[in-house]
A and B are shown apart, each in its own frame.
Chain A
């Protein structure tokens, strides 16, 4: 079974530029998460989708971050404009449902803002 796919693996941009990350969850998984993991810290939830609807985006900095999952499958996360403190690994995860089930993570996108 294919896992969660993310691209790109690495991205270096200058501050104030824009960047987008893509995620393809495991087939049939209704729940999709985007996490931000800063070096030395645990993953921080940015946004959670159930199919194509948002169920939690309380920690998403909405002035610069946006995410969508239009058809309930693939998802994109965008940052515009980027700040130095956005340097982190952005992890996408999916699970079959939102209750009590294992979340599978992609390999992440390592973003460096210079």
Chain B
């Protein structure tokens, strides 16, 4: 079965620092990519979609490398409120039907004051 792999961390980062996560996916037919954020004991919520050309939303930058099958998330000027688990998500639509959103296990980020 296709997989999405992430370093589970935890990443302990001082406030104000820049932190980057990578995620690799095994299925080259994957078509859309996302980063979700999940706070402790809460449901996942979309942080940002990841486009082939790369995209930026404030302090967050996402990149996609289809040739190497990896996705990255960069957080600049990290805030205490960025502490959460970041889930890499891949969506593949196969000829026989959608395979649904496949989640990685998540990377746990702790921003320290």
Give every chain A residue within 8 A of B32 (Cβ-Cβ).
Answer: 99-100
Give every chain B residue within 8 A of A58 (Cβ-Cβ).
Answer: 1
Q: How far is the CB of A22 from chain B (nearest CB, A)?
A: 16
User: What 1/0 flags go to B24-46 for Cβ under 8 Å of A?
Assistant: 00000001101000000011111
When C-beta atoms are compared, the residue in chain B nearest to A42 turns out to be: B103
Answer yes or no: B97 CB below 8 A from chain A CBs.
Answer: yes
| A7-53 contacts to B (CB < 8 Å) | 31, 33, 35, 40-45, 48, 50
Q: How many residues of B contact A (CB 8 A)?
A: 24
Give every chain B residue within 8 A of A105 (Cβ-Cβ).
Answer: 43-45
Q: How far is the CB of B84 from chain A (nearest CB, A)?
A: 13
Residue in B1, B49, B91, B104 whose CB lies within 8 Å of A42: B104
Asked if B98 and A42 make an inter-chain contact with CB atoms under 8 angstroms apart, the answer reads: no
Asked if A42 and B87 make an inter-chain contact with CB atoms under 8 angstroms apart, the answer reads: yes
Give every chain B residue within 8 A of A73 (Cβ-Cβ).
Answer: none
Q: Give chain A's interface residues, CB within 8 Å of chain B.
A: 31, 33, 35, 40-45, 48, 50, 55-56, 58-59, 91, 93, 98-100, 102-103, 105-108
